[in-house]
Structure 1
Amino acid sequence: MDLPVAFRTLADWASDSSPLYETLCRGIAEDPTLLDLAEEVPADRWAPHVTLSAVHYLLLNGADHPLARFYPSLTESPEDPTEAYPHFHDFCVAHTDDLIPLLRHRRTQTNAVGRCAGLYPAFCYIDQQTPGSLALLELGASAGLNLNWDRYAYEYDSKRFGASDATVTVHSSVRAGSPPLQQTPPAVNARLGVDLNPLDPTDATDAAWLRALVWPEHTERLDVLDTAIEHSHGNPPQVVGDDAVETLVKHADSLPRDGPLVVYHTALLYQLSQEQRTTLHRALTTIGETRPVWWLSGDGETEDPGTFGLEVTRFPDGDTVRLGRYEQHGRWIDWCQ
C-alpha cells in the first residue's frame, strides 16, 4: 500500500471518532513534503500511525506550538480540527530533526486496554467450555497491559463485572446478544506476552510513547491507559522480545500444562503475510497435539471499518466459532452466540 492510500485508509478509520486525525491524514496524503517525511518510517511499519504518534509524543512532552490548541488531549477547549492542517505542516517542518528518530525507531504498539471489553466475554466463553485455570500467551503484546485483563473491572451498560478490587475499570456497552459475562473473572495460572519490540510500562519513556499512540480525542482511553500503566507497577506483565509466530511453540511449551492454553491477540493479523498466517496456524496445530489450546483472535476481519471480529478456534480439532465483534477500542460489543 503506497503512502497516500495508507493515510487515506487511516482517515476512513478515524472518521467516526477522531475528526482531527481524519483531517490530518487527508492533508498528509496530498502533501509531498510530509509524505517525504513519512518515508522515514521503515517499510515494515504502519507509517500513518507512527507519524501522527510521533507528533503527539512531542506535543505531550512539552513542544510549544500553536498546533497543541487542536488536541483535546492537551487542552479542554480544542479549536476546530478542520483548521488544523496548516499548523500540523508547520510543526513537522519546524521539528523535523526531533521527529526523524521517532519515525525511524518507534512502532505502532498501541496497548488499547479498552479491547479487553471484547476479550473478557471471550475468555468467559472459553472458561465455560473447558475445565482448569487458563494459561495466557498474548502475541504482539506491546507492553503487556492486556495480559492483566482478569485484574480489571468491566462496566457494560453500568453493570459491573470482573475483579472486585480493581483499580482499572473498562467501560463498554452490549449492543446485541447476551455475552457470557461472569461476575468473577476466570482463573489464570500463568501469563506471558511475546512482541518483536516489547515496551516496559514502568519505564517513563516507553509509557510516554504508549500515551502518544492514543488518538487525541480519546481522553477516556488515555485515562484508562494511565490507570493500567499505574497498575502495572504492582503487577508487571512479562513480555519477551521475540518473533511471536516463529517462536510460538517454544513459548507455549514454557507455560503450565495443568489447564487450557489460550493464545490470543488483538492487533496482529493485519501485520502478517499469508505465509506468516500459515505458519501461525501450523504452530497452533502442533501445540494442540500435546495439550488443549484455544486460539482467540480479537482482530478478525469485518465489513465495517473500525471494528474487530471475535472468534475462537479449538485445537486439535480446529473448529472455529464466531463469537461476535467489537468496536476497535472496546466502546461496544455485539455478541452472536
Structure 2
Amino acid sequence: MGRVVLSTVELPEGAREVLRQLGTELYELPRMGEGDLMNVLPKVEVLMCWCGKDFDITRWVGSMPNLRVIQTFSAGVDHLPFQAIPGNIKIYSNAGAYSEPVAEHAWALILALAKGLHKPTLIAKEYLSNEITSPRSVIESTLLVLGTGGIGREIARIGKEGFRTYNIGINRGGRPVDYFDEVHRTDELRSVIQRADIIAIALPLNKYTRGLIGAGELRLVKRGAIVVNVGRGDVVREKELYEVLKERPDIRFGTDVWWVHDGREEIPPSVPLTALPNFLGTPHIAGGAQRDIAERAIMRAVENVARYLRGEVPINEVNRDDYL
C-alpha cells in the first residue's frame, strides 16, 4: 500500500500520473461519499486543498492521526484554521503559482487607471480635462511594490522591462530582490510611499499586514498617484480608503481583492467604494479563474507534494507564527 494523498479537487491527469509514479494511494474528494471519506481519513498523510474553503479542516483534522502535510492549491493561506492544526503538521502554500497572471492583471488595472479607462467618455475635451480621466504617463515612473514575492517581483519586472520604471520594494526585512532598484523594510513604508507615482500592493494577509495601509499612509501619497491592490483586501483599511478617495479625487485606486466580512469576501462591498469615480474593481479573477491557469497551479502544488514524497525539501513552507 502506498502513502495516502487526499485531494479536495479532481486533479488533472498529468498530476495523477506524477503521484502514481511515486506509488501513492490517491483519493479525490469529489469522487467520494462521506462513508468512503471516513474510511480514508485515518490513513491520510498529505492533504491538498484550497486553503480550507473546500474541506472543513477544523471538523476533520482530529480524524487524521497520520496527517503530516497540508499543501494548498492557493497562494494565500490566511483562511486556514491555524489554531486547529496540530503543530507537527507542515503547511506549504502554492506561492508563486499565480505570479504571472496576477502581475498582468495588476498592470491592466494600472494602465486602465492611468489612461482614464475606468470612467470612459467619448467627449475629448471632457476626457482630457477631467481630473478623474485625464491620461497619465507611466513611462519612467517611480513604482513602489509592497511585497517582493513572486507576484511583486513579476510586477516589478514588467515595469522595469516594459516601462523603464524605477522600482522600490517593501518587504519585512528590507532584503534585496531582483528587478528592484532599492528595497526597504515594512516599517519604513511611510518614508518612501510619498515618492511613488504608482503603488502596487502584492502582500499576503497575516498578522503583520492586516490593516497596514490606512488613512495615514494614503494621505501621504503624491498628487495623481495610482494605487492598485492584488494581494488581499484587508491589507487596506476599507472605510479609511473610502474616506481618503472621497477627499482626494486625484488618487486613482484599483483592486481585484475585497474585504472579508462574516467569513466571505464581500463583492461589492457595503462601503460604497464602487460609486466613487476614482475607483476601479474587478471580482477577484486575476489568478486561477481561468481553467488553464488553475490547472497549472494545481500541477505546481502536486510537484511540491512530490518533493516531499521523494524525501526532498518542499518549497513555500508556511511560518504559522505569522498567523497565530
Scaled by the length of structure 2, the TM-score of the pair is 0.40
Q: Which structure features the higher share of helix residues?
A: 1
Question: Bigger radius of gyration, 1 or 2?
Answer: 2
Q: Which has the higher contact order (CA 8 A, sep 6+)?
A: 1
